[in-house]
Amino acid sequence: MLSYSIGYLGRERLAIKILGWMKIEEDKLLGLDDFFHRHGGKTVFLAKFITGAGSWTLISAGMGRMKLTRFLRYSLGAGALKTIVYMGLGYFFGHLYKLLIQWMNLTSVIIILVIILIAVMILIKNYLKKKFGYIFKSPKKNIKKESIS
């Protein structure tokens, strides 16, 4: 709730600083609203299982004005499921806990790195597009069909 509240109450202050720092247009904030309206439940649910992504996603859900009741339903549901899964893993595989923690952390790090890599690639593409115009458009090929004689 604290992360959601930070995003919800600090929407303008956080958004202006973050968007200004990343040089992104403020219209993108409306896209965040639309994203959390359509995909907020899935996003919050999955983020609870990714180490390191949970808080940022919950802040984004607040900034995206996700409905509180929907947020609580998915957040608490994911939290309960995560607790049950981790307790079950601890019960059945407790003697292997160090190995399980390493695998879970490695998986989370890989997922976060992939997300960061995609974000960086998008930012670079947008920067190059603004600087050099439509450099990424593929040229239209003029292929003429040969007639069969």
Number of other CB atoms surrounding residue 94 within 10 Å = 9
For residue 114, the model assigns a pLDDT of 93
Query: What is the model's pLDDT at position 110?
Result: 92
**CA-to-CA separations, 20 to 33, 116, 134, in angstroms, rounded:** 18, 19, 24
Going by C-alpha positions, the residue among 22, 5, 119 that lies closest to residue 65 is 5
* Whether the predicted model's global pTM rises above the 0.85 cut: no
Closest by CA to 14, choosing from 70, 51, 68, 62, is 62
Rg, the chain, Cα only: 22
Beta strand ranges found along 41-145 (DSSP E): none
pLDDT at residue 79, as a whole number: 86
Q: So what's the pLDDT on residue 136?
A: 56
CA separation for the pair 46, 103 (Å, rounded): 17
Which residues in the chain land under pLDDT 70? 14-16, 18-20, 22-30, 134-149
Predicted pLDDT of residue 142 = 53
